[in-house]
């Protein structure tokens, strides 16, 4: 009889502790449904951690031939979606993000391979997407320069920040972090590249190889 009493007390204690744990998780905001939504990973604090209920934009120009197979290298081939384009996240998982442009309804998928890109998923996708509209960064530029940046056309005299808005950060396997003189970008998947040379934080020379 005494053993049965201990068993009942033990079970009651477990049920109580489980209730308290669930309550605390709910209050702290850490509770997630048993079956997460397709897009939860984009906002999940253990995923990409984008802020919920905020508009999202492309942080720089994106090129595509097949919108559902965009490389993390962002090869400068095919059609272009310019920086500042508002997007809506559709689906996300640790190594890919599917999104749709709000105005033109183009559905796109970007997939990362950290072993090749040398970037974690959270770092890479935070380079592609932003909750701060990049168009606010070019308000003081001429319409001609803005159009060129949105077409991925880099020319002498442009600043480093303007190049980042247009092309994004250069691939780490071509331009190691901290490199300040020459940034190298892939033009296609056949290793054709464009080299952007800086002097005093402005483009001084551009050539392809």
Tell me the pLDDT band of 45, cut-offs 50, 70 and 90.
Answer: confident
The pTM score is: 0.81
Helix (DSSP H) and strand (DSSP E) numbers for the chain: 6, 11
Q: Tokens 């003081």 belong to which residue?
A: 140
Cα(81)–Cα(74) distance, rounded to whole angstroms?
11
Q: Chain-centre distance of CA 192, in angstroms?
A: 24
84: left (phi over 0), alpha (psi -120 to 50) or beta: left
Q: What digits encode the pLDDT tens for the residues 125-170?
A: 999 999 999 999 999 999 999 999 999 999 999 999 999 999 999 9
R_g over Cα of the chain:
23
Counting every residue written for the chain, the total comes to 209
Q: What digits encode the pLDDT tens for the residues 47-62?
A: 899 998 899 999 999 9
What is the residue-wise DSSP string for 141-197? Answer: S-HHHHHHHHTT---TT-BHHHHHHHH-SPPTTTS-TT--SEEEEESSTTS-EEEEE
């Amino acid at each position: 009889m005494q053993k049965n009493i201990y068993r009942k007390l033990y079970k009651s204690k477990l049920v109580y502790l489980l209730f308290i744990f669930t309550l605390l998780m709910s209050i702290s905001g850490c509770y997630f449904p048993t079956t997460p939504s397709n897009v939860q990973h984009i906002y999940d604090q253990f995923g990409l951690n984008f802020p919920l209920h905020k508009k999202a934009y492309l942080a720089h120009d994106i090129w595509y031939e097949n919108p559902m197979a965009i490389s993390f290298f962002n090869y400068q081939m095919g059609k272009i979606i310019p920086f500042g384009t508002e997007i809506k996240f559709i689906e996300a998982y640790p190594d890919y993000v599917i999104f749709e442009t709000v105005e033109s309804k183009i559905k796109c998928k970007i997939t990362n391979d950290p072993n090749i890109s040398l970037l974690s998923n959270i770092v890479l996708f935070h380079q592609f997407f932003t909750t701060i509209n990049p168009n606010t960064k070019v308000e003081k530029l001429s319409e001609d320069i803005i159009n060129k940046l949105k077409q991925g056309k880099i020319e002498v005299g442009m600043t480093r920040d303007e190049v980042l808005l247009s092309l994004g950060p250069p691939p780490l396997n071509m331009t190691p972090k901290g490199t300040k003189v020459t940034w190298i970008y892939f033009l296609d998947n056949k290793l054709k590249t464009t080299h952007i040379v800086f002097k005093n934080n402005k483009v001084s020379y551009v050539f392809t190889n």
